[in-house]
Amino acid sequence: MSSSGDVVRLLKTAANMVGARAVGTLFIGLASQRQHQYLVARARKKAYILGHKLALMSK
């Protein structure tokens, strides 16, 4: 089984192969044990920041 670091490296390599690059990394956690799981505030904030970075790069 590969570690999360290996997965991140592979995803970044794949992005580079198609001419893109990663703006950051967001780990949410394991699969939810409930049907309607909500994101904690910290994960929501980081997702917002990374989305903003991605939008600024696409201009």
Which H, E and C letters describe 4-52, residue by residue? HHHHHHHHHHHHHHCCCCCCCCCCCCCCCCCCCCCCCHHHHHHHHHHHH
Cα 59 to chain center, whole Å? 20
Report pTM: 0.69
Residue boundaries of the structural domains of the chain: 24-59
Split at pLDDT 50, 70, 90, the class of 2 is: low
| pLDDT tens, position by position, 30-39 | 777 778 888 8
* Cβ contact 23:53 at 8 Å: yes
Residues whose CB falls within 8 Å of the CB of residue 28, separated by 6 or more in sequence, listed in order: 39, 43
Tokens in use for 50?
């990374």
